[in-house]
Amino acid sequence: MLVAGAAASSYLYGTDPHEPGHWLPGCPFRALTGLLCPGCGGTRMAYDLMHGQFVAAWHDNALLLLALPFALFALGRWTYAGLRGRRLSPSVSSRTQLGLLGLAFLWAVARNAF
């Protein structure tokens, strides 16, 4: 997984997803509906972050950019537990799951309305 992630990151670093003519996958939801999903812009955001363009990353997907520190913290906790020989099995309540789903839905509506 580490090698695959490094290879994908290397390809993304050298390939501008803002420009056409690359091998990066598009969003299937957008291809089917023409609408932006909550994750649309994530690849462009990652590219912009790799190149230190924080304002452009914000414009690509602000919600995903705000969620990134929490995701990295969770990944760090999981990795730390794994290196210590422990199994981390975090649980998320159904209320939190519904809240996150509702936030993603509102983000998708807001992005497509403006």
Identify the pLDDT of residue 81.
Answer: 93
Count Cβ atoms within 10 A of the Cβ of residue 21 and give its class: 0-12 exposed, 13-18 middle, 19 or more buried: exposed
DSSP single-letter state for residue 111: H
Contacts of 65 (CB under 8 A, 6+ apart): 45, 49, 57, 58
- Measure the CA–CA gap between 44 and 57, rounded to whole angstroms: 7
Average pLDDT, whole number, for the chain?
Answer: 92
Contact 106, 35 (CB under 8 A): no
The pLDDT tens digits of the residues spanning 46-93 come to 999 999 999 999 999 999 999 999 999 999 999 999 999 998 888 889
